[in-house]
Amino acid sequence: MNRSYTYDPKFHEPGSVAAEGLCSQHGRDGADRESCTREAVVSFQDRHDRWQSGCSLALEQLVERGEIEPLGEGA
């Protein structure tokens, strides 16, 4: 399980979707794009160690799947 961080553009590659404060998680898998708020609230590394950003829905889903820790824990 990966750590999660309060969204911070410094983690993300300049010019990327994530660096602009938008959710990159749903940009990728698309399935929940309609319920995506687009606003990044969390920064995390995916299983390939790439930095991703997620909206509140993405955070909920990733925690549920055991991919990242709930925000604010394990600091």
Q: List residues binding Zn ion (CB under 5 A).
A: 23, 26, 36, 55, 58
Residue closer to Zn ion by CB (options 3, 38) is 38
- DSSP, collapsed to helix, strand or coil, labels residue 32 as coil
Residue 21 or 69: which CB sits closer to Zn ion? 21
> How far apart are CB 14 and Zn ion at their closest, in Å?
21
Q: Which is nearer to Zn ion, 12 or 26 (CB)?
A: 26
Report, in Å, the least distance between residue 16 CB and Zn ion. 15
For the stretch 16-21, contacts whose Cβ atoms lie closer than 8 Å and that sit 24 or more positions apart, written own/partner, are 17/53, 18/43, 18/51, 18/52, 18/53, 21/53
